[in-house]
Amino acid sequence: MRTAIFTVFIILLLTVGFYYYKVIMFGERNLSTINTNSRDELRVIEVGGVKINVEIADTKEKREVGLMNRTELCENCGMLFVFDEEGVYNFWNMNTYIPLDVIYISENMEVVEVKNLPKYICHLIETDTVCEPTNTNPTKKAKFVLEVNAGFVKKYDIKVGDFVSGL
């Protein structure tokens, strides 16, 4: 009987320890993203003739988390941020470990601006100065913003004026 209770206690302890390890290593918000949030809503869109598998971030909560704490993104994958109305939406790279191309798309489904975000490495370097995240500082209004791996825009020759389908 003692062996059974001891075994259950050890299993419970390992389970709780694993959960807290994941929260500490990846952040509590990222756990919810991995399990239930934006990965539930996937869609294939086409930008300049290139198909991209996108996760949809169409709520305030999903947009706030975005691609934070992710360490990889498949080659033709991205996250599509959907806003209620067109506006100038600034993005930053806080806790974003993947360098990104940021594609701004108008409500007319046209690419209106392209920006780059380097990966956020401030926590990896020792510095005496304040380390601030990078901002995109867009100048054009957009209803959709697509984040893909850095280099995607250049590789597939995506440019302002290209049309987007599948939204």
Residues 68 and 30 in one domain: no
Residues 68 and 24 in one domain: no
Residues 97 and 145 in one domain: yes
- pTM as predicted: 0.72
Q: What is the pLDDT of residue 121?
A: 72
What is the pLDDT, as a whole number, of residue 25? 37
- Per the structure, the count of domains in the chain is 2
Same domain, 80 and 23: no
- Is beta strand 77-87 parallel, antiparallel or unpaired with respect to 50-57? parallel
The verdict on 51 and 25 lying in the same domain is no
pLDDT in tens, the chain (167 residues): 777 665 655 665 555 444 444 433 333 333 333 333 434 578 999 999 999 999 999 999 999 999 998 989 999 999 999 999 999 999 988 888 899 999 999 999 999 999 999 988 775 556 666 677 888 999 999 999 999 999 999 999 999 999 999 98
70 and 114, same domain (yes or no): yes
Give the pLDDT confidence score for residue 34 in this predicted structure: 34
| Same domain? 123 vs 87 | yes
Q: What is the pLDDT of residue 50?
A: 95
> Do 61 and 118 fall within a single domain?
yes
**What pLDDT does residue 147 have?**
97
30/76 same-domain check: no
Same domain for 86 and 148, yes or no, is yes
Give the three-state DSSP class for 22. Answer: helix
Edge-first strand order for the sheet with 164-165 is 111-117, 100-105, 142-149, 77-87, 50-57, 42-47, 164-165
> Are residues 70 and 8 located together in one domain of the fold?
no
Q: Which helix (H) or strand (E) holds 62?
A: helix 60-65
- The reply to whether 101 and 32 lie within a common domain is no
Range of the domain at 13: 1-36
What CATH number has the domain bearing residue 120? 2.60.120.1140
